[in-house]
Chain A
């Protein structure tokens, strides 16, 4: 036999047993100055004015500072209220349209330039001028002006209830105006792969698909971080992430499937941490594409999914079915809205009303979340019981997101977590017809009445009135089955027990407070 063929055979066997151990040489063991985080996929861009993905924010959030930051309670829990970060104090006009922020002194970008009002003005103008996804968090027509060396004034066209909280978003990170000289389009290309912030850390290396390295910003205005080097390793296979965590080569392993977390919990030196979270998993149903443009087809699909089966099987019971778009624990949830349950008879009835559907429906998913593949396979099987023809397409995460933005898909898996504690995150983002695509309305849903309700709810600062408006909205969007509202589950992460000081905040999924964390010896 020719050698090459033996090689193939042996290769196949090796692949069966082997793991892709292509990550950089392990340094973590015994080194108390290096923290290694393992995540499943590479960031797409590091420009805060462009990234719309928590997966990127793991890296970008600690690179930049914002005017305000989420507070931490005495006992180390993440709160939904904010405190000043770059701002020392702020005030709002009575009608809520003019906001004035005084900046604290002593903050500086990694190149040594001080953070002043001009930098804040520049950052927000850059964000709004680029007009990508992150700018959608801020009201249109917002004017930002440096009204002093260390004072910035925001003028809104109309009141915007969650305004203060949007300033703690990743997109509100203040960027060094020096990026302007790095290239056209406000230096977006350069900033996509570099950092220019005043955060606790700065980016010192990025080998695509392998790892990113963060080191402390020498000019950081806050307390000097304890950890001297952070490395984010990109390790696609869940099993490989887990092995590295067990071996001590990695301190924090993200996106592990439920089965792996359960097995890890009993291992020495590893702690599986559980946090109540507002993260939801749902399916986008492209409302612009046949047959999903027919409301009865969407209703049929919503009734054909075995929610409890998915929760009991794929999540081992660690989750609850969503009740409309707003998750449990967020104010404004309307318990009277329709909640679909697995009911093939009514699903078939709805499909009959629609007159059937013969078109092939594409279903996109990626490796980003290990739960997505089983969900996709299960959904395909459920929908085949209705005679619907679903074609699964497994894509790279970045490719999949491009398809969301261009609207070339039928169904797709998605996760969503709020950036601030306001139902706005689950309503205005998901249903506003101005936010079609990646910006948030990934079902490409359009309804004039809903648009009107969203508009009313934003300008009101009366919580009772907003609850009522959002309540009406939830009845419409559940009845029209704009999405398949799957489940909400706890945030679970596997961490080595020498990692101290991690604060989880449900507004900051996948984001670590590296600056406040440390490694015990």
Chain B
């Protein structure tokens, strides 16, 4: 092994083993995955370029045009202080999607490391870590998230932190389980025979081999995190006014739903479409990366 290859990032190395042609074939074979992926890409495109697509400043109020019905001026109508709902939904998507990725990255990163570490070290450290995780998992996650978000104070970033904290054990368990399996493999024992450090083994032998179930979990989590963040905002623990956020918009719109259906309906559809698309994509990726778990 030359010096140059030693410095290759293990994740890159793992990705380089992927047979992209086969992956593409699998995706094409599953129309639901394809559809989900297409919608996800569209949503990402729309929210990233929200300033381009928005017709109004999402926070600009116009009290005299409040609760206006959908029209050419306001595609999705206006809210209770006359803000343009179409623009607010585009900007609101940024919050939702950002929370989704934030949670998955933070929880996935920390959880995977902790889990792999626990699995590799074993012994008392493993027991303590896993019992701690069991404690967290034994409390209904939504209740725990609500309690944490309330304790941290209502804001979207605190809601995201609360969700991430509660999602960590899921990743810990997955990565620990995989680590236990891989730890016994001959290439790991071989490395141990050569007195490789734990860190070396973790980095070069364990992590690259446990990534695919973690990735599957992460993609599945994206959709549910977006829903959770919206739910927290809906009950007032997430985004605060005047931040545009889908869940918060549905919540306020509820007061006007009998006469101004558009206020709740459009953000509601945005949540529905985005969460469904992320879930379909996640399911498809799971089927491809982890055919053994295939749920049919």
Q: Which residues of A pack against B, CB within 8 Å?
A: 1-2, 5, 8-9, 11-13, 15-17, 19, 237-239, 242-243, 257, 259-260, 263, 306, 309-310, 312-314, 370, 373-374, 376-378, 380-381, 391-394
Q: With an 8 A cutoff between CB atoms, is B227 at the interface?
A: yes
Which of A257, A370, A376 is B241 in contact with, Cβ under 8 Å? A376
- Whether A12 pairs with B268 at a CB distance below 8 angstroms is yes
CB A439 to nearest CB in B, in angstroms, measures: 28
A sample of 17 cross-chain residue pairs with beta-carbon separation below 8 angstroms, ordered by A number, consists of A1-B283, A8-B275, A11-B227, A12-B271, A15-B231, A15-B234, A17-B257, A239-B255, A313-B62, A314-B81, A373-B252, A374-B81, A376-B241, A381-B60, A381-B61, A393-B240, A394-B154
Residues of B within 8 A of A243 (CB): 258
User: Which residue of the partner chain A has the closest CB to B63?
Assistant: A313
Cβ contact within 8 Å between A378 and B61: yes
Query: Do the beta carbons of B252 and A239 come within 8 Å of each other?
Result: no
**Chain A at the B interface: SS class:** helix
Binding site for A on B (CB under 8 A): 59-64, 66-67, 80-82, 154, 220, 223-224, 227-228, 230-231, 234, 236, 240-242, 250, 252, 254-260, 264-265, 267-269, 271-272, 275-276, 279-280, 283, 295
Whether A239 lies near B295 (C-beta < 8 A) is no
- Contact between A5 and B223, CB atoms less than 8 A apart: yes
Interface SS, B side: helix
Q: With A19-B254, A380-B242, A392-B240 given, is the CB distance from A9 to B64 under 8 Å?
A: no
Asked if A238 and B255 make an inter-chain contact with CB atoms under 8 angstroms apart, the answer reads yes
User: In the complex the two chains form, is B275's CB within 8 Å of A9's CB?
Assistant: yes
A1 nearest CB neighbor, chain B only: B283
Q: A313 to B82, Cβ gap below 8 A?
A: yes
- Are A2 and B227 touching (Cβ within 8 A)? no
Q: Nearest Cβ in chain A — how far from B234, in angstroms?
A: 7
| Nearest-Cβ distance from residue B283 to partner chain A, whole angstroms | 5
User: Across the two chains, which residue of chain A brings its CB closest to B264?
Assistant: A16
Q: A239-B257, A374-B80, A393-B240 are in contact. Are A313 and B66 (CB under 8 A)?
A: yes
* Nearest CB on B from A302, distance (A): 18
Q: A13-B272, A16-B250, A313-B81 are in contact. List 14 more A-B contacts (CB 8 A).
A: A1-B280, A2-B220, A8-B224, A8-B228, A8-B275, A9-B272, A9-B276, A239-B254, A239-B255, A259-B260, A309-B63, A374-B80, A377-B81, A378-B81
Contacts of A392 in B (CB 8 A): 240-242
Please indicate the chain B residues that have their CB under 8 angstroms from the CB of A312 in the complex: 63-64
> Which of A13, A237, A263, A306 lies in contact with B268, CB distance below 8 A?
A13
A15 to B267, CA, bound (A): 11
CB distance from A8 to the nearest CB of B (A): 5
A238's nearest neighbour on chain B, judged by CB, is: B255
Partner of B258, one of A239, A310, A313, A394: A239
Q: Are A306 and B63 in contact (CB under 8 A)?
A: yes
Whether A237 and B255, one on each chain, are in contact in the complex, defined by CB atoms closer than 8 angstroms, is yes
B144: min CB distance to chain A, Å: 16
Distance, CA A306 to CA B230, complexed state (A): 32
The distance in angstroms between the C-alpha atoms of A238 and B236, with both chains bound, is 16
